[in-house]
């Protein structure tokens, strides 16, 4: 059993998928988000999309960093994580403007004071103000903040996004076909609209990242930061403190707490100017590099043999945990958090658009005919097959 499973977490969310398998799959079952008829406007030319997500256990890392250093500003990054995990999913079905956001914050009031809530709420609005300068308009309509200390150890920061959109401007992934190439966008580095280096970790796999990287000091001193029923052998088994130096950031804490990058500015340009050339999009979130298997419109083999070299944070995680490459690429995005599927002749303009915002991009693989949905990774001299 993997360390991830021993901590009560599933990379593939098998039980969740089983629970919802009999629900309505939407107008475009292969689309990255569920797309509904226009219940809001009752117009056949439009659709409705609603999506819910959040920062996950990354909020626990913010809690630890804040308690250890006193730097309360890290909570603004958690606000961005909760927004982007919604927004970049919507981007993958073609939505990028006139979106409504509603937040949900559940806290343990004994541990999370109003000053933290203020940082999260202000951070949310500041991100929306920045995105507005790129023509991505998100309307913040408030939300629910609940004091539920009996349920939540520290704080859970989540949100819901809703949008009404033209039906003929949806990226459904149904155009993905053999012969397509896959353009990968890096989640690491420093985009032109970011203020600091981004490690690329996003908001998935943070349970493993936290326990694999951080020293047992945190188990001894912050028992509210983990499930006390877990076996001691999987709790904070790493060698690092959050304040330890890192090569590409001020310290390990800032590296692992890098706010999830949004690709909204570059995707707005591509969707407005090259919509017909985009065959599909995948946000490599839960499930990491295997996420694509869930959204293929046919029994194709995906080959990824030119992924980015894994950035520092993932090397630190693997060195501490001893996890196999198979598990690493299934749990983490490994530096590549967005995939665009397109014809080979159109890859250059996708790459150029990303690089105009100082985001690295390259052809990372291709789509081939197959007898089942399968992913073949070639990394570090190894060949790994999923599916």
Domain that holds residue 120: 3-386
pLDDT score at 362:
98
* Residues in a beta bridge with 223: none
Nearest to 258 by CA among 333, 321, 325, 195: 195
pLDDT score at 24:
86
CA distance 90 to 52: 10
pLDDT (tens digit per residue) in 171-210: 999 999 999 999 999 999 999 999 999 999 999 999 999 9
CATH number of the domain within which 59 lies? 3.90.650.10
- Check: CB of residue 311 under 8 Å from CB of residue 258: no
Per the structure, the count of domains in the chain is 1
Average pLDDT over residues 301-314: 97
pLDDT score at 79:
98
- Check: CB of residue 183 under 8 Å from CB of residue 362: yes
pLDDT score at 23:
80
Nearest to 192 by CA among 369, 23, 15, 357: 357
Tokens of 113: 């004071």
Task: Look at residue 251 and tell me whether its pLDDT is greater than 90.
Answer: yes
HSE-CB at 9 with a 13 A cutoff on CA atoms is 23
The values of phi and psi at residue 337, to 5°, are -110, -5
Q: What distance lies between CA 91 and its chain's CA centroid? A: 12
* Residues in a beta bridge with 214: 240
pLDDT-derived band at 14 (thresholds 50, 70, 90) equals low
pLDDT score at 3:
65
Say which range, 16-25, 169-178, 219-228, 282-291, has the weakest mean pLDDT.
16-25
Task: Give exposure, 187-200, as e/b (b: 16+ Cβ within 10 Å).
Answer: bbbebebbeebbbb
- Check: CB of residue 159 under 8 Å from CB of residue 116: no
Q: Write out the DSSP string of 302-320.
A: EEE--PPPP-HHHHHHHHH
- Check: CB of residue 333 under 8 Å from CB of residue 202: yes
Task: Look at residue 335 and tell me whether its pLDDT is greater than 90.
Answer: yes
SS3 250: coil
At which residue do the structure tokens 């804040």 appear? 66
pLDDT (tens digit per residue) in 26-85: 999 999 999 999 999 999 999 999 999 999 999 999 999 999 999 999 999 999 999 999
Supply the mean pLDDT for the chain.
95
Nearest to 62 by CA among 140, 142, 119: 119
Q: Which residue has the higher pLDDT, 31 or 17?
A: 31
Mark residue 288 as left, alpha or beta (left: phi above 0; alpha: psi -120 to 50; beta: remaining): left
**Structural element, H or E, at residue 350:** helix 347-355
pLDDT-derived band at 226 (thresholds 50, 70, 90) equals very high
Say which range, 16-25, 180-189, 253-262, has the weakest mean pLDDT.
16-25
């Amino acid at each position: 059993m993997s360390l991830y499973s021993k901590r009560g977490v599933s990379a593939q969310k098998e039980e969740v998928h089983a629970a919802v398998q009999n629900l309505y799959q939407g107008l475009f079952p292969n689309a990255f988000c569920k797309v509904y008829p226009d219940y809001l406007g009752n117009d056949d030319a439009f659709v409705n999309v609603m999506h819910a997500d959040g920062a996950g256990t990354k909020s626990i890392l913010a809690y630890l960093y804040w308690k250890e250093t006193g730097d309360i500003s890290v909570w603004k990054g958690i606000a961005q994580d909760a927004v982007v995990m919604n927004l970049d999913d919507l981007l993958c079905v073609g939505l990028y403007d006139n979106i409504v956001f509603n937040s949900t914050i559940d806290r343990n009031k004994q541990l999370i004071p109003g000053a933290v809530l203020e940082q999260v709420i202000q951070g949310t609005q500041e991100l929306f103000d920045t995105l507005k300068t790129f023509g991505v308009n998100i309307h913040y309509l408030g939300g629910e903040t609940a004091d539920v200390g009996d349920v939540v150890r520290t704080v859970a920061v989540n949100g819901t996004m809703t949008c009404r959109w033209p039906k003929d401007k949806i990226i459904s992934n149904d155009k993905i076909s053999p012969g397509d190439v896959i353009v990968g966008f890096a989640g690491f580095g420093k985009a032109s609209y970011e203020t600091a280096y981004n490690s690329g970790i996003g908001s998935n796999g943070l349970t493993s990242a936290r326990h694999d990287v951080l020293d047992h000091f945190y188990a001894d001193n912050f028992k509210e930061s983990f499930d006390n029923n877990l076996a001691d052998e999987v709790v904070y088994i790493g060698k690092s403190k959050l304040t330890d130096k890192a090569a590409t950031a001020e310290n390990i804490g800032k590296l692992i707490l890098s706010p999830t990058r949004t690709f909204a500015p570059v995707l707005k340009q591509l969707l407005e100017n090259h919509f017909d050339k985009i065959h599909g999009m995948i946000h490599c979130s839960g499930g990491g590099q295997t996420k694509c298997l869930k959204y293929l419109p046919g029994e194709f083999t995906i080959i990824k043999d030119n992924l980015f070299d894994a950035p520092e944070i993932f090397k630190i995680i693997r060195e501490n945990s001893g996890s196999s490459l198979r598990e690493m690429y299934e749990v983490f995005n490994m530096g590549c958090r967005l995939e665009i599927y397109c014809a080979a002749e159109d890859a250059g303009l996708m790459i150029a658009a990303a690089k105009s915002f100082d985001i690295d991009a390259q052809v990372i693989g291709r789509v081939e005919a197959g007898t089942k949905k399968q992913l073949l990774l070639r990394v570090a001299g190894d060949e790994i097959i999923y599916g």
